[in-house]
Amino acid sequence: MSGISWCEVRGIRVARHHGDPIKEYKEAVNNIAIRDRSHRTRLRISGKAPVAALQGILTGRMPAAPVLLTEAMWKGKSFYSAVLTPKARVVTDLGIMWGDQSAQESLFLDVPHIGKAPFIEYLSRTVPPRLATFTDVSKETGLLSFVGPEATNVVARFVLGANQVAVLNDCEEGEYMQLGVDDSDVRIVRMEEVSGGGWNVFSSKDNIGSLWSRLAESGIQPLGASIWETLRIEAGVPAFGQDIGDSNILPETGLIDKAVDHNKGCYTGQEVIVRVRDRGRVNRLLSGFRLHGEVLPRVGERLFVEGREVGWLTSIAESPRAGGTVALGYLRQGLLQSDVITVGPSGKFQATVISLGPNWLEI
């Protein structure tokens, strides 16, 4: 498509926008927009016991085989999870679901590009090949994300079948429909990675390319990274490599309830997670902010209270929804409600802190 502007986001070159970021935002909020996110990494884990092999590595629930609904359609559940060091520092986050419908147990993982290298290195050190092997299928597969209030109708029309809207409406976050049984299978996963939510569609590279072309020919608005980041920040969703990294322990990110299965057996980093949960709290916590000032701060800008450093910003966006600048960042706990938080050493700009959660910008 003409008018594409490119940029690098968290270690990989992606489309910044497709010619008109304002239109992209409006379509994503009011109608439908699509983003090719095939730059993320997709791994297949197979072998003698892949679920058992990853059980002690991942923090979250392990998926079960999907349930057959019709002759060629299954419904399953994917889970968000993290990989931690023994001190609970984040190696990467990821999504995990069942592999395919063959008799052999397997898993399918969706991993951020920037988390690929540390995760594969971690697997190489910790997973015995006799139990499981991992294959990078990123070049053979793709990922297309659908955003906006019309996303469900468009996915049903172009992917599942126009008469299957009700099937998609029955899906909660993380649930997915799967069609096919081989490397060309299609997975349609309900996601809440950006404000308004939407769908992630995984399939073969050829299928994703064909789907993108058909959508473009129908006039569906493509979405670039800049507006995706705005929608992500508006949703209060942290990104690995941006708001989360190996300098953070998982409890600082506010993702414990989403990423941790407290009923599973032992996993790496569990001791720290349980200690924080049962005995105390972290010194800093990922929070949301409304920023007040005329100049857009930089990512990494420090936060102060009366000249004392109390945190920093990790993601920043001009939000039409909020009517101003919003941000994610880490803030020291224990501050008083009356404390005035300023942005940068000059103290010219202020930040209003808001606890992250669903609809945090409406608080």
Stretch among 65-69, 88-92, 103-107, 234-238 having the lowest mean pLDDT:
103-107
Distance of CA 334 to the CA centre of its chain: 29
Q: Which stretch of DSSP H or E encloses residue 327?
A: strand 324-332
At 363 the pLDDT is 67
Q: Residue 331 sits in which domain range?
A: 283-362
Q: Which residues of 97-113 are buried (b: 16+ CB within 10 A; e: fewer)?
A: bbbbbeeebbbbbbbbb
d(CA 282, CA 171): 34
47 pLDDT band (50/70/90 cuts)?
Answer: very high
Angle at 209 between CA 204 and CA 210, to 5 degrees: 100
Mean pLDDT of the chain: 94
Cα torsion angle, 108, 111, 113, 115, sign: negative
Band of pLDDT at residue 183, cut at 50, 70 and 90: low
Mean pLDDT of 14-23: 97
4: left (phi over 0), alpha (psi -120 to 50) or beta: beta
Single-letter amino acid, residue 103: A
- Single out the residue in 228, 254, 279 at which a domain terminates: 279
41 DSSP 8-state letter: E
Do residues 54 and 189 share a domain? yes
Clarify whether residues 16 and 100 are in a common domain: yes
Confidence (pLDDT) at 103 = 60
Shared domain for 298 and 176, answered yes or no, is no
Using 50, 70 and 90 to split pLDDT, how confident is the model at 296?
confident
CA distance 177 to 189: 7
pLDDT category, 100, cuts 50, 70, 90? confident
For the segment 307-320, the average pLDDT, to the nearest whole number, is: 96
> Do 226 and 292 have their domain in common?
no
Q: Are 101 and 89 in a shared domain?
A: yes
**Per-residue model confidence as pLDDT tens digits over 244-294:** 999 999 999 999 999 999 999 899 999 999 999 888 789 999 999 999 987
**51-65, 119-133, 182-196: range with lowest mean pLDDT:** 182-196
> Mean pLDDT over residues 14-28, rounded?
97
Are 19 and 145 contained in the same domain? yes
One domain for residues 296 and 273: no
pLDDT value of position 37 = 98
CB 350 within 8 A of CB 357: no
Rounded mean pLDDT, 335-363:
89
How far, in whole angstroms, is CA 242 from its chain's centroid?
11
Please identify, among 223, 246, 279, the residue that sits at the C-terminal boundary of a domain: 279
**pLDDT tens, residue by residue, 133-161:** 999 999 999 999 999 999 999 999 999 98
pLDDT band at 295 (very low <50, low <70, confident <90, very high): confident
Mean pLDDT along residues 295-319: 95
Q: What is the DSSP letter of 113?
A: H
| pLDDT > 70? residue 181 | no
Q: Are residues 131 and 259 in the same domain?
A: yes
* Residue 40: per-residue pLDDT: 98
Instruction: Provide the 10 A C-beta neighbour count for residue 31.
Output: 15
d(CA 16, CA 7): 5
Residue 15 has what pLDDT? 97
Copy the structure tokens of residue 74.
């299954």
Cβ pair 241, 10 in contact under 8 A: yes
> What pLDDT shows up at residue 226?
98
Same domain, residue pair 179 and 64? yes
Structural domain ending residue among the three candidates 264, 279, 294: 279
CATH number of the domain to which 341 belongs: 2.40.30.110
**Number of folded domains that form the chain:** 2
Helix, strand or coil for residue 322? coil
Residue 148: phi, psi to the nearest 5? 120, 165
Does residue 225 share a domain with residue 291?
Answer: no
188: helix, strand or coil: strand
pLDDT the model gives residue 25:
98
Query: Using an 8 Å Cβ cutoff, are 286 and 243 in contact?
Result: yes
> What's 245-274 look like in SS3?
CCCCEHHHHCCHHHHCCCCCCCCCCHHHHH
CATH of residue 13:
3.30.1360.120
CA angle 288, 289, 291 (to 5 degrees): 160
What pLDDT, on a 0 to 100 scale, did the predictor assign at position 70? Answer: 87
How far apart (Å, rounded) are the C-alpha atoms in residues 17 and 261?
A: 37
* Together in a domain, 270 and 123: yes
312 and 244 housed in the same domain: no
Confidence (pLDDT) at 147: 98
Entry pTM: 0.96
pLDDT band at 184 (very low <50, low <70, confident <90, very high): confident
Distance CA 97, CA 100 (A): 9
- Residue 1 scores a pLDDT above 50: no
pLDDT at residue 39 greater than cutoff 50: yes
